A and B are shown apart, each in its own frame.
Chain A
């Protein structure tokens, strides 16, 4: 609810007389989703996810938040793994194309990300990795009921205005893993929003389709002098 109030506050600021004087008053919000989730839903038995992205356009910057829910499962003759949870990423993007009158976006930024999830591994102790020591084969379960993870991301990408206020684009993420909590008996193989937890850093990729809701007309800061010189040429 407090987020709705904050958004309402920003909108009211944008419509106030002060909005004309400050370039740092938000000019729009974009709300989008990752259509790649549909592909995974149809093609992948391992992974399902749904991710929403929202950003607030503040001059050259975007305040960005991503929220997603995710499910991941693996089935093998010697083990099965299930993971489900949610994640939240928040950060700031810098728009290289802030002078583009078409409002296309090429950005670089960062995110601080948090995931909350539970996972469960059923495994057979008689796997190939044990030499035969005579212990009888047994199925065991290891689980994390309330695991948490935190990491940071360096992001970059494009968002192209396709028609009216509709944007399509992608984000490439370089994810640096920071920490997992409450995972003593089982090292999580998958972390919602991060991916496989096998290396301390990894790359991620998301497509986005988003819709821009403007609060006011955005001022485009063009170099008038340069434009005149080019026109005279």
Chain B
């Protein structure tokens, strides 16, 4: 057998295995991991100016009568939820969401029924955010996900509000990162 033909034969044998290897690679399980979510993380802080002029910022536990959003009947948080960080779900079907934060006026404890009663203040604070949605199919069997980025604040009834993280992500909860900081 000529040398060239022998070489060709060896090369051909090697290549016959390739479709089988590729088939095995193609059958590997596809990754369903998704790090996107639609939660806007809002943190509340108080600022104290010391005698030296240094400003100290500390998280402050906050309570609202209710936190809701326009176009959604669910109450995300109520007067029993006391926290310094709130995860507010933005509308996955729109590029903007307006949140309504109803202010708690007073709490009364009824000793007979042993229940707390919460009363709301007529004033409502609003906060509207805008964001860019980007859709993708994770893999065929895992469905779709939407990622939210380029977050901007459209309006806020709070005195001082700042966007500190422009991407909504599941990782924000793990890394303790916030999207918006509100200062009292």
The answer on a CB contact under 8 Å between B134 and A187 is yes
Annotate B45-57 by CB proximity to A: 1 below 8 A, 0 otherwise.
0000000000000
Is B58 in contact with chain A by the CB < 8 A criterion?
no
Query: Smallest CB-CB separation from A185: which chain B residue?
Result: B134
* CB within 8 Å for A205 and B19 given contacts A123-B135, A134-B73: yes
Q: When the two chains form the complex, which single residue of A125, A196, A205 contacts B146, counting CB atoms closer than 8 Å?
A: A125
The answer on a CB contact under 8 Å between A125 and B92 is yes
Interface residues of A in 155-171 (CB under 8 A from B): 156-158, 160, 170
Query: Smallest CB-CB separation from B11: which chain A residue?
Result: A106
Interface residues of B in 9-52 (CB under 8 A from A): 11-12, 15, 18-19, 22, 25-26, 30-31, 34, 36-38
> Bound complex: CA of A128 vs CA of B144, how far in Å?
9
Query: Smallest CB-CB separation from A140: which chain B residue?
Result: B93
The residues of B that contact A129 with a CB separation of less than 8 Å are: 34, 36, 138, 142-145
Query: Smallest CB-CB separation from A190: which chain B residue?
Result: B137
The residues of B that contact A189 with a CB separation of less than 8 Å are: 136-137
The residues of B that contact A140 with a CB separation of less than 8 Å are: 92-93, 135
* CB within 8 Å for A135 and B91 given contacts A100-B5, A121-B137: yes
> Bound complex: CA of A97 vs CA of B3, how far in Å?
11
Task: Count chain A CB atoms within 10 A of each CB in B5, B31, B132, B137 and give the residue with the most.
Answer: B137
* CB within 8 Å for A198 and B30 given contacts A129-B145, A134-B73, A185-B134: yes
Total number of residue pairs linking A and B with CB closer than 8 Å: 115
The residues of A that contact B74 with a CB separation of less than 8 Å are: 133-134
Is B174 in contact with chain A by the CB < 8 A criterion?
no
Interface residues of B in 117-150 (CB under 8 A from A): 132-140, 142-146
Nearest Cβ in chain A — how far from B168, in angstroms? Answer: 12
> Bound complex: CA of A19 vs CA of B93, how far in Å?
66
Q: How many B residues touch the partner, as a band?
A: 35 or more
The segment out of A63-71, A75-83, A210-218 that lies at the interface is A75-83
The residues of B that contact A104 with a CB separation of less than 8 Å are: 8
Nearest Cβ in chain B — how far from A213, in angstroms? Answer: 23
> Bound complex: CA of A7 vs CA of B37, how far in Å?
55
The answer on a CB contact under 8 Å between A121 and B144 is yes
Query: Smallest CB-CB separation from B23: which chain A residue?
Result: A205
The answer on a CB contact under 8 Å between A186 and B7 is no
Nearest Cβ in chain A — how far from B114, in angstroms? Answer: 30
The answer on a CB contact under 8 Å between A205 and B134 is no
Is A219 in contact with chain B by the CB < 8 A criterion?
no
* CB within 8 Å for A186 and B93 given contacts A125-B146, A134-B73, A198-B30: no
Is A142 in contact with chain B by the CB < 8 A criterion?
yes
The residues of A that contact B137 with a CB separation of less than 8 Å are: 74, 79, 81, 121, 189
Query: Smallest CB-CB separation from A196: which chain B residue?
Result: B139
Annotate A176-211 by CB proximity to B: 1 below 8 A, 0 otherwise.
000000001111010000001010000101000000
The residues of A that contact B26 with a CB separation of less than 8 Å are: 203
24 contacts between A and B (CB under 8 A): A78-B143, A79-B143, A79-B144, A101-B4, A104-B8, A106-B11, A106-B15, A121-B135, A123-B144, A123-B146, A125-B93, A128-B143, A129-B142, A130-B92, A133-B89, A135-B72, A138-B93, A158-B12, A170-B15, A172-B15, A189-B137, A196-B139, A203-B26, A226-B3
Task: Taking A74-B137, A138-B93 as given, write out 12 further A-B residue pairs in contact, using a Cβ cutoff of 8 Å, ordered by the A residue number.
Answer: A74-B140, A78-B144, A127-B143, A130-B92, A134-B89, A135-B92, A157-B15, A158-B11, A187-B135, A189-B136, A198-B30, A226-B3
Which A residues are closer than 8 A to B by beta carbons?
A: 74, 76, 78-79, 81, 96-97, 99-101, 104, 106, 121, 123, 125, 127-131, 133-136, 138, 140, 142, 156-158, 160, 170, 172, 184-187, 189, 196, 198, 203, 205, 226, 230
